[in-house]
Amino acid sequence: MSEITLSRRKFIFLASSFVAMSATPGLATSVLSKKRPQFSSRALRLYNIHSEEEFAGIYWREGHYDEKALVRLAHLLRDRRDNAQHKIDARLFDVLHRLQATLGTQDPYHVVCGYRSKATNAQLHKKSKGVAKNSLHVQGKAIDLRLEHIALKDLSNAARSLKAGGVGYYPKSNFVHVDIRPKPAFWS
C-alpha cells in the first residue's frame, strides 16, 4: 500500500512540476540546463611567457576536438627545460574555456607552466616543497597561469567556483594552478 501511495505522490509531484514548467518555459530551460553555456565552438588564447609563443584558435567544434589544435596546444605547453612534449588532457582546455566565460574575458592566459617531464618534476621537487612528487603536470592535466587584466585572487576564486578540479593560489609566485582531478581541491 505504501508503494502505491509513494507512486501516486511521485506522479502528482511530477505532473505538477510539468505543468509549472510548461507554463514558464524560461524556468524549465534553466532547471534542465547544466548551468553551463553551450557553445558550437570553443576557442582559447594562450601565451607562453617563456617561449613567447601564442595559441589563438578553436580547439573544439560541433562536438569534436580539433586534433591539429590539440597538437599545437601540447607544443605550446611543452616542458621548457627539456622541450619534452606530452598530450594534454583536453578537459583542461574545457575548464580554461569555461573560466574565461565566467570571467567575461577573451584575453590570453599567460602560461607559467604546462607539461613537466618526470625528470624536470623530480628536479623541481628536490628544490621546493611546493612541487608535488606526483604532480598532475607530469600527466598533462595541470597548468599554472595568470591573466593580465584580472586580479590573481579573482582568477583563483573564479576557478574555484567551477569546482572542476584542483585550484592552487600562489600570489608570491604570481600564478594560479588549475588541474583536472576527480574531486575539487583548493589550496594556497
For the chain, the structural domain boundaries read 2-32, 41-187
- Architecture (CATH level 2) of domain 41-187: 2-Layer Sandwich (3.30)
Task: Determine the Cα–Cα distance for residues 3 and 15; give it in Å rounded to an integer.
Answer: 18
pLDDT digits 0-9 by tens, 26-62: 434 333 334 455 669 999 999 999 999 999 999 999 9
pLDDT digits 0-9 by tens, 124-159: 989 987 788 889 999 999 999 999 999 999 999 999
* Over residues 8-19, mean pLDDT: 51
Cα distances (angstroms) measured from residue 114 to each of 39, 63, 84, 92: 25, 25, 11, 11
Q: What is the pTM of this model?
A: 0.78
Task: Determine the Cα–Cα distance for residues 6 and 2; give it in Å rounded to an integer.
Answer: 6
Say if residues 176 and 145 touch (Cβ distance below 8 Å).
yes
Task: Determine the Cα–Cα distance for residues 187 and 179; give it in Å rounded to an integer.
Answer: 12
How would residue 8 be classed by pLDDT, with cut points 50, 70 and 90?
low
Say if residues 166 and 184 touch (Cβ distance below 8 Å).
yes
Grid coordinates belonging to 26: 524560461
**Mean pLDDT over all residues of the chain?**
86
Grid coordinates belonging to 150: 584580472
pLDDT digits 0-9 by tens, 79-100: 999 999 999 999 999 999 999 9
pLDDT of res. 37: 54
Query: Is the four-CA dihedral 48, 70, 86, 175 of positive or negative sign?
Result: positive
